[in-house]
Amino acid sequence: MLFQQSEAEPEEDISYKDNPNYCESRLDFPKLIDEYGWKIGIEVGTYSGEYSEYLLESSKLEKLYSVDKWRDHMGDSQFYPPLEAKVECRKRLRKFGKRSVMQQKESLEASWDFENQHFDFIYLDAGHDSVNFMHDLGTWYKKTKIGGFFGGHDYMVMPYEGATVVFLTDIFAGLVGQRLYVTGARNHTPQERHKVACVTASKFLEKGEEDKFDHPSWYIIRNG
Ligand SMILES: C[S@@+](CC[C@H](N)C(=O)[O-])C[C@H]1O[C@@H](n2cnc3c(N)ncnc32)[C@H](O)[C@@H]1O
């Protein structure tokens, strides 16, 4: 059978307020990190280090790896050129001393440094195109401890990559038999998740709305 019996969809209608794993936005992840006592994390696709800085400031993570290739420009003049982003990232993360490890590597190359099930917390925000994202899902999931967090940014329809992240995470969660959560999608049913993905996309396309909301993140709490 291609699909394992999946816990992806809730069988009963538990209120999202009673679900300890519910997060309204990725800004809630540090709370989850500390409640579960997760200690070792990685952000793959770090850019200027804003989210790595937030994670280190707001949680008791003992070590966070911040990986980026810092090579290609993100294509829009509002973004720093890669080397400036790297310098900015270093400036932001220096203050965390040994808690922060910056690595300039391709995602796949970075994964070779770690044993399977090394990480308590993995956050993917690198390539969102189908080839890179599919490789990241397959590669980094194995590096997540049982009981740990495997997630990433931009569960939404993107102007260039389309619905790649939405489709691939939905399929991936089904294949590995795990429940898929999406920030802001209260009871995490497929209907709610997809609504969040589409509503965010329409805001994204309205000029000037970009900074006013947080893109949804998807996540799995790996239970096997
Ligand atoms: C959207 S930005 C990350 C933003 C950051 N996560 C944040 O929330 O502040 C995406 C980053 O992924 C990096 N990236 C894209 N593909 C990559 C790959 N294959 N390996 C490593 N980094 C990659 C890009 O260089 C870029 O800096």
The CATH number of whichever domain residue 137 belongs to comes to: 3.40.50.150
pTM: 0.92
Whether the predicted pLDDT of 7 surpasses 60: no
What is the 70 CA–ligand 1 centroid distance (Å)? Answer: 8
> How far away, in angstroms, is 45 Cα from ligand 1 center?
3
Average pLDDT value for residue range 69-84: 82
Count of domains in the chain? 1
Domain span including residue 28: 20-221
The pLDDT of residue 189 is 86
Question: Does any domain span residue 12?
Answer: no
* 193-199: average pLDDT: 88
- Report the pLDDT averaged over residues 195-213: 71
Q: Determine the distance separating the centroid of ligand 1 and the alpha carbon of 3, expressed in angstroms.
A: 30
Residue 5 lies in a domain: no
At residue 124, the pLDDT reads 98
pLDDT exceeds 90 at position 98 = yes
In a domain, 156, yes or no: yes
C-alpha dist (Å) from residue 198 to 74, 101, 102, 154: 23, 35, 34, 11
Question: What is the position in ligand 1's atom list of the atom closest to the CA of 52?
Answer: 9
Residue 101 lies in a domain: yes
Instruction: Evaluate if residue 108 carries a pLDDT over 50.
Output: yes
Residues in CB range of 167: below 8 A, 6 or more apart: none
